[in-house]
Amino acid sequence: MQWESRSVIEYTNTLKSGVTYDFAFAEYLSSVNFYELLSEVQVGLAKEGKATLPSGIEVDLSSPGGLLALQLFMENVDATRQAHSGLSRLGLNVEKQLWKNI
């Protein structure tokens, strides 16, 4: 019975911390995702003059609607990157203050 409870606790702790990154790594991941999406769009533009968004929608840049769709998509991607970066920096500041007070 004692071993079973320890294995359950270990399993629960592993699930909680299995996908948790530190704040600096989370900021790095947000930047990497941003630049990967930007690179995919640029490659599509350079090769075909069209960009395929992650949702599968193909955007033609010869039309005003296509330009608007690409602009909205890129603004959304950049806003997401900035939000992740801001949350990571906030977490780093909180962690720094915590260590100062210990």
Please provide residue 61's backbone torsions phi and psi, each rounded to the nearest 5 degrees: -85, 5
Is residue 69 in a domain? yes
Is residue 53 in a domain? yes
Of 4-8, 74-78, 92-96, highest mean pLDDT: 74-78
Query: For 8-18, what is the mean pLDDT?
Result: 65
Per-residue confidence band for 7, with pLDDT thresholds at 50, 70 and 90 = low
pLDDT tens, residue by residue, 27-70: 888 888 889 988 988 888 888 888 888 888 888 888 898 889 88
Helix 23-48, helix 64-100: angle, nearest 10 = 160
Is residue 56 in a domain? yes
pLDDT tens, residue by residue, 82-97: 998 888 888 888 888 8
Is residue 31 in a domain? yes
Domain that holds residue 26: 21-100
Cα dihedral 93, 95, 101, 102 in deg (nearest 10) = -160
Is residue 47 in a domain? yes
Is residue 4 in a domain? no
Domain count, the chain: 1
Of 2-6, 22-26, 48-52, 76-80, highest mean pLDDT: 76-80
Is residue 10 in a domain? no
Is residue 89 in a domain? yes
